[in-house]
Copies of this chain bind each other. A is one copy, B any other.
Amino acid sequence: MDRFVSTFTNKIDAKGRVSIPAPFRAVLERDGYVGGLYCYPSLDAAALDAGGERLAKKIDGLLAGLPDYSDERDELSVALYGDVQVLSIDGDGRIVLPENLRVHANLDAAVTFVGLGDKFQMWEPKAFEERRKEARSKVQVTRKLFAAGGRSSDDDGNEGARE
């Protein structure tokens, strides 16, 4: 399925380089790697979003839905494209995070890579632990909603049975 899945934590070396987890690299290549990793500050978190060609197309798709020359589109364009950086990946699968991106996510010694399907995020490890806790507790709630919503009828109905 070639999606970014699971989390990995790698170190930032003295030169500011980080290895992209090998499984993520594999996804990027299959995604039609051209020469860069698209990377930008997450809009609502102290983290970075990154991905390959598929992600780039997705961003385009969002804008395509808005009329040209509308304020909304302009704002979104700036928000989406404005801070995007195309990071080159060296022969060993590493990238260098520019200052502004590193600041946005408070990255210093290590980076936690979090697979999110089409894209992945880069977090300061401790910050991500917090975030993860939060997400887990919310999912408990969401799960109850699914169960209550009666979505159990698809092929064998173990949807809410996770225990």
Report whether A82 and B114 are in contact in the complex, using a CB–CB cutoff of 8 Å. Answer: yes
- Chain B residues, CB < 8 A from A158: 116-119
Interface residues of A in 125-163 (CB under 8 A from B): 131-132, 134-136, 138-140, 142-143, 146, 155-156, 158-159, 161-163
From B58, B116, B143, give the contact of A77 (CB < 8 A).
B116
Interface residues of A in 35-61 (CB under 8 A from B): 38, 42-45, 49, 53, 56, 58, 60
- Does A76 count as interface, using CB distance less than 8 angstroms? yes
- Does A103 count as interface, using CB distance less than 8 angstroms? no
The complex is assembled from copies of this chain, and their number is: 2
Query: In the complex, what's the smallest C-beta–C-beta distance from A64 to chain B, in angstroms?
Result: 10
With A and B bound together, what is the CA distance between A116 and B83 in angstroms?
A: 10
From B68, B79, B85, B134, give the contact of A139 (CB < 8 A).
B79
Query: In the complex, what's the smallest C-beta–C-beta distance from A110 to chain B, in angstroms?
Result: 16
- Chain B residues, CB < 8 A from A56: 1
- Chain B residues, CB < 8 A from A86: 5-6, 23
- Does A63 count as interface, using CB distance less than 8 angstroms? yes
From B3, B72, B75, B162, give the contact of A81 (CB < 8 A).
B3
- Chain B residues, CB < 8 A from A146: 62
- Does A14 count as interface, using CB distance less than 8 angstroms? no
- Chain B residues, CB < 8 A from A60: 1, 3, 117
With A and B bound together, what is the CA distance between A78 and B142 in angstroms?
A: 13
13 A-B residue pairings within 8 Å (CB atoms): A1-B34, A3-B60, A5-B38, A5-B85, A5-B86, A6-B86, A7-B82, A44-B140, A58-B159, A75-B138, A78-B131, A118-B155, A118-B156
